[in-house]
C-alpha cells in the first residue's frame, strides 16, 4: 500500500450505481486498469429495478463518456464468473478488484488481486445485508446507511472498512433514501481507496459480527406499501430531525 492501486472494476452494464461509483473514483484520480461490464438479461433487470428505485434523481454519465479521455480497456462479458473474467485479468498485476454493483460473485475471482476484492453496499452492515436495503431498513426500523467492505464467499459478510449512516430527514421518500445510499456507498468506495493509498487499511478493517436479521431479498409491493406509508406518516425510528 502507499501507491495508487492497480485495480479491475466490475459492474453491470449501464447500472446507475456503477456509473456513480466510477465518477466518484475518477474524481480522486483512481482510474481502473480495466473495466469489465456484464451484459445480461439479469443485469438488465437489476438496472431497471434500480432506476425505478431512484426515479427523479440524477444519474452519472455513461461509462463510455466518463473514460473518453483515458486509455482504459473496456470489456463486456455475458456473466461475471471465473471462466469469463479470469482470462482478462490473470496476467495483470492487480492490487484490488472493485465491485461497482454486480451479482453475487464467488470463487477464483475473489483470490485474484493481492490486497482483496472490495464492494460498497447501500445498506448498514451487518444489520442490512442483501437487496433493497433502504426498504427493509424502514420496514424494520434499522439505521439507514452504506458500507465499504471486503468480499468473501458470503453475501455482504466480509470485513468492514468504512460504514456511515445516512441522515434521514422527515419528508424524504423511498426514492430519496435509495438515491442517498447509492451516492453514499460510492463516496465510501472513493474514501476507502484514499485510505488504501494512505496505508490505513490494516487499522480500519474489522469483522462485521452477527446480524439479528436475515439476508434480505428484493422487497415485494406489499412491503414497499408499508415503507411508503411509514415515510408519509413520518414514524420511521431513526429521523435526525
Tell me, yes or no, whether 133 lies in a domain: yes
- Look at the chain and report how many structural domains it folds into: 1
pLDDT in tens, the chain (241 residues): 568 999 999 999 999 999 999 999 999 999 999 999 999 999 999 999 899 999 999 999 999 999 999 999 999 999 999 999 999 999 999 999 999 989 888 889 999 999 999 999 999 999 999 989 999 999 999 999 999 999 988 778 899 999 999 999 999 999 999 999 999 999 999 999 999 999 999 999 999 989 899 889 889 999 999 999 999 999 999 999 9
Lookup result for grid cell 408519509 = 232
pTM: 0.95
pLDDT tens digits for range 139-172: 999 999 999 999 988 778 899 999 999 999 999 9
Which domain covers residue 190, as residue numbers?
Answer: 7-233
- Cis peptide upstream of residue 53 (ω within 30 degrees of 0): no
Tell me, yes or no, whether 100 lies in a domain: yes
Tell me, yes or no, whether 240 lies in a domain: no
Tell me, yes or no, whether 239 lies in a domain: no
- Rounded to 10 deg, the angle between the 174-197 and 133-140 helix axes is 110
In this structure, what CATH number is given to the domain that contains residue 17?
3.40.50.12230
Tell me, yes or no, whether 167 lies in a domain: yes
Distance CA 99, CA 121 (A): 10
Tell me, yes or no, whether 142 lies in a domain: yes
First to last CA, the chain: 41
pLDDT tens digits for range 200-236: 999 999 999 898 998 898 899 999 999 999 999 999 9
Amino acid at each position: 500500500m502507499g501507491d495508487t492501486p492497480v485495480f479491475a472494476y466490475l459492474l453491470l452494464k449501464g447500472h446507475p450505481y456503477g456509473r456513480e461509483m466510477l465518477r466518484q473514483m475518477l474524481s480522486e484520480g483512481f482510474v481502473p486498469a480495466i473495466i469489465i461490464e456484464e451484459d445480461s438479461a439479469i443485469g438488465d433487470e437489476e438496472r431497471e429495478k434500480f432506476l425505478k428505485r431512484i426515479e427523479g434523481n440524477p444519474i452519472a454519465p455513461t461509462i463510455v463518456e466518463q473514460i473518453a479521455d483515458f486509455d482504459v480497456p473496456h470489456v463486456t462479458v455475458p456473466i461475471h464468473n471465473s471462466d469469463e473474467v479470469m482470462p482478462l485479468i490473470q496476467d495483470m498485476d492487480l492490487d484490488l478488484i472493485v465491485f461497482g454493483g454486480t451479482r453475487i460473485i464467488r470463487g477464483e475471482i475473489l483470490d485474484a488481486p493481492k490486497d482483496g476484492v472490495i464492494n460498497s453496499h447501500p445498506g448498514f452492515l451487518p444489520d442490512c445485508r442483501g437487496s433493497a436495503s433502504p426498504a427493509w431498513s424502514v420496514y424494520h426500523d434499522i439505521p439507514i446507511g452504506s458500507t465499504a467492505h471486503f468480499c468473501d464467499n458470503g453475501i455482504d459478510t466480509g470485513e468492514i472498512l468504512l460504514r456511515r449512516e445516512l441522515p434521514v430527514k422527515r419528508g424524504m421518500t423511498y426514492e430519496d433514501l435509495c438515491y442517498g445510499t447509492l451516492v453514499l456507498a460510492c463516496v465510501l468506495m472513493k474514501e476507502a481507496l484514499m485510505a488504501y493509498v494512505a496505508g490505513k487499511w490494516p487499522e480500519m478493517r474489522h469483522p462485521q459480527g452477527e446480524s439479528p436479521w436475515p439476508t434480505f431479498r428484493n422487497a415485494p409491493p406489499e412491503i414497499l406499501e408499508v415503507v411508503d406509508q411509514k415515510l408519509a406518516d413520518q414514524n420511521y425510528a431513526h429521523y435526525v430531525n
